[in-house]
Amino acid sequence: MKFPVKFMPPIVWLVRTLVGAYPRWIGSAPSANQRIYFANHTSHMDTVVLWAALPGSLRANTRPVAAKDYWGGGGLRTQIARDELNVVMIDRAREDPEADPLDPLRDALEHGFSLIIFPEGTRAAQPLPGPFKSGLYRLATEFPQVELIPVYLENLHRSMPKGALLPVPIICTVRFGAPIALREGESKEQFLERARDAVIALAQ
């Protein structure tokens, strides 16, 4: 389901009512440029909150990346993922051991979409991100023209921690940082550490 830019989808209204999802652009600004927004991951609300913080004109072309085992299990959650968020599903269970989990992301990027990803790969019950997995590095290598925007989600680890069924109404801020890019000669480890540091810097 596609909404006109001036129409606020119900999920956006709900998220903003519950936790604010207030955007702060630090070192970057909203842009139609193709981007990968990468953020810390502390709750099941992270996907919706980051997407809701984007301007309406960008949401239609920005697809969150989310786990098929959580968002694809059916019911209201799957309906939201499919009809409102246009989620790119990844198979963490690796049902097909020959499949590359990044292929759906590559397909979305090749079709001009921006992405929202969480490079830790799983949620952490702490305010700062843990080590990043290699996916962000591989995408940065294969799609050098795509801007990489670090994002810090503040307070979501307190609003809806692991195990919580409903969010606590705490004001949450979404901080968008300056874009980074893979440097010539930079190793995977160096790049992933620098990308993680860019997210951590936004927590200050």
Tokens found for residue 180: 């980074």
The tens place of each residue's pLDDT in the chain, 204 residues long, gives 444 444 467 777 777 777 778 899 999 999 999 999 999 988 778 888 899 899 989 998 999 998 776 666 667 667 777 777 788 988 866 667 777 989 999 999 999 999 999 999 877 767 789 999 999 999 999 999 999 999 999 876 555 555 555 555 677 889 999 999 999 999 999 999 999 999 999 997
The structure tokens listed for 181 are 């890019």
Distance from C-alpha of 70 to C-alpha of 81, rounded to nearest angstrom: 10
Query: 3-state class of 4 per DSSP?
Result: coil
Output phi, psi for 198, to 5 deg: -65, -35
Q: Using DSSP, state whether 162 is helix, strand or coil.
A: coil
Domain ranges of the chain: 32-168+176-201
CA 156 from chain center: how many Å?
A: 13
